[in-house]
Chains A and B, each alone.
Chain A
Amino acid sequence: MSHYLVRRLLALPLTLLAVALITFALAHATPGGPWDRFDEKPLPLQAEINLNRYYGLDLPVHEQFLVYIGNLVRLDLGTSIQKGRPVADIIGEGLPVTAQLGLQSLLLALAVAIPLGVVSALRRNSLADHATTLLATVGTTIPNFVLCVFFILYFGMTLRLLPFVGWGDGLDVRRMLMPTVILALPAMGFLTRLVRSSVLEVLRADFVRTARAKGLRERSVLRGHVLKNAFVPVLTVLGPATANLVVGSFIVETFFSIPGVGRLFIQSVNARDYPVIMATTLLYALAIGVANLAVDLAYGALDPRVKVAQ
């Protein structure tokens, strides 16, 4: 167990290094640069040369990368080209918002998916079952940005029910409602269907018949024998689900002007703000890596057949 943990923890920095390399290469290979101005006069050539020298952009790309990694190891994320402030500070402001949005959405997705999936498995063709089908279809087929536009137009502008700009202090439920729900919807739809099919499959298992043959009530069979087994596949998708939430957060934060890491990432890409691109990408990679690790550990705890030690 501890061996495994150590190995996984050691693998994480290597993964991050690979992510850093790829991101760095892609960011610099993308045409355009931080000094491009579309709306104003272009910068004088000499100013651009000076700025490049100041930010170290005059070095060959591979040297820039080494410098970046060297700074990163010393936990120096650099300075934002666009904002002129330390990247660590900017991220520090956005992270709590994004983390709250992501966790809230994941919890909301699970809080709906688990009961709804179980009930629709137990009562097929009931109202709950039809709701599951609808939710799964809507959640997984309609892209986030369409939902954003629709929610903002309808609930925000037409009905004027909910505010749709910004995030507030993290306690403003009405303001957080739309972005949280929209971000949760795809995971919710997917997870509900997964819970349903997983429960259905376990219900057909031989050991459930054994449990019934013991004389257990249906409720005890469900609680003691079905649910734990049914959650194993659900747990395994929580890693990838986190990755999807990450991608969703780019869109949702941008549409709702939420000052989080997702919007920051989009802004930094548009501005070719290399240090911020690198920092946000690495942060997301770290989040996904940690989520996968947590899922694996929980998986071992839930299913004794998974020998984490090997």
Chain B
Amino acid sequence: MPDLLDVKGLETRFFTRDGEVHAVDGVSFRLAAGETLGIVGESGCGKSVTALSLMRLIPYPPGKITAGTVMFDGQDVLKMDDDEVRAIRGNNMAMIFQDPMTSLNPVLTISRQITEALELHLKMNRTDARKRCLELLEMVGIPSAKVRMDDYPHQFSGGMRQRVMIAMALSCNPKLILADEPTTALDVTIQAQILELLKKLAKEFGTAFILITHDLGVVAGMTQRIHVMYAGRIVEKADTGELFANPKMPYTWGLLRSIPRLDESRRAKLRPIEGLPPDLINLPVGCCFAARCQYKRDVCTEKEPELKVVPKAKPDHEARCWGTQEGGWLVDVDYRTDTTVMAAVGAAS
């Protein structure tokens, strides 16, 4: 079966007064129908820009997709004309945004904002669209949906609004949902509910989804595979279980160390990754992570490594790191027992 989504060499830049921002720089990945994928990385690494690029929603100017192909359902989204892209948006490919407080139109009723897409893509009339809207709202767990469907967004709580966003995304039975940090703006307790709902509904409808987050903890039970992004590139790809059990790239190690763990003693400090991501206008020579990497060697600052299958791991596990490639100095290092970082932290404090 062909992939639902096949992204190759995606490159998106912003042409700003300060220079060209290389927000997404050669991202490639694939997704089968019904598959779930997590994209994880620090703030500013290009996750949102990647998702928006897939739907061609990058604001121009200043943004522009400068290279790559995005094959969706057998067609290259980047080569479509505007009408063709619009026919896909909200229909076959839908998006859930980060901030449910600002992502709904404050002056339109909830029902109107959902029926709009139904009327547009499924050619429903008002009555049928409202009926379907009610079904959708009940499905995402809006209590007394019948009464509340004609409320305005400000009358809903953040969690409710994100449920509305999910209902909106599911309304036309899309094949793919892009969820860009759907729970970041919500309370922790609500977060879990929303993620559960998304997972359950996507499974029910066989919808593939890409869950974007900066928190590895969030994707753990949610997606089949995880791609870790850094400075506009994918630096590690693996099955979710494999990534947590056998991570390869020092950046991923850093992310894992910064997740709070229940089984660790309370005295064990969280260890955020030191330093800042590189400036996306003036990217460094060599590996983008080298400046912050505790394990770097000369080669790391001379030449950029490619994303390669790593040895001693599952076959589709790839990493972008000189140290983890065949014969590299990190192949046998286990980040949990390794003392290099501990020593470094100790020396610093």
Contacts and interface: CB of A to CB of B under 8 A. Distances in A.
B89 A212 contact: yes
A206 interface: yes
A214 B120 contact: yes
B268 interface: no
A134 interface: no
B86 interface: yes
Q: Interface majority SS on A: helix, strand, loop or mixed?
A: helix
Contacts of B90: 213-216
A254 B116 CA distance: 53
Given A304-B154, A305-B154, A213 B94 contact: yes
Q: Pick the most buried of B102, B105, B106, B117: most chain A CB atoms within 10 A of its CB.
A: B105
B86 A213 contact: no
Interface residues of A, number: 21
A207 B103 contact: yes
Interface string A181-223: 0000000000000000000000001110111111111000000
B283 to A, nearest CB: 27
A205 B117 CA distance: 19
A209 B89 CA distance: 11
A212 B90 CA distance: 9
Interface in B64-112: 86-91, 94-95, 97, 99, 102-108
Interface residues of B, number: 28
B121 A215 contact: yes
Contacts of B94: 213
Nearest to B88: A215
A64 interface: no
A35 B316 CA distance: 102
Contact of A224 (B88, B102, B103, B116): B116
Nearest to A208: B105
B102 A207 contact: yes
Interface string B47-60: 00000000101000
B102 A206 contact: yes
B248 to A, nearest CB: 35
Contacts of A302: 107
Nearest to B116: A214
Given A209-B57, A214-B90, A305 B105 contact: no
Contacts of A225: 105, 108
A215 B86 contact: yes
Interface in A113-162: none
Nearest to B112: A224
A210 B86 contact: no
Contacts of A206: 97, 99, 102-103
B102 A205 contact: yes
Nearest to A226: B105
A207 B57 contact: no
A212 B94 CA distance: 11
A263 B10 CA distance: 69
A209 B56 CA distance: 11
B95 A213 contact: yes
A85 interface: no
A215 B152 contact: no
Given A207-B103, A210-B165, 13 more contacts: A205-B102, A213-B57, A213-B97, A214-B89, A214-B90, A215-B87, A216-B86, A216-B90, A216-B116, A225-B108, A228-B108, A232-B107, A304-B152
Interface of A: 205-207, 209-217, 224-225, 228-229, 232, 302-305
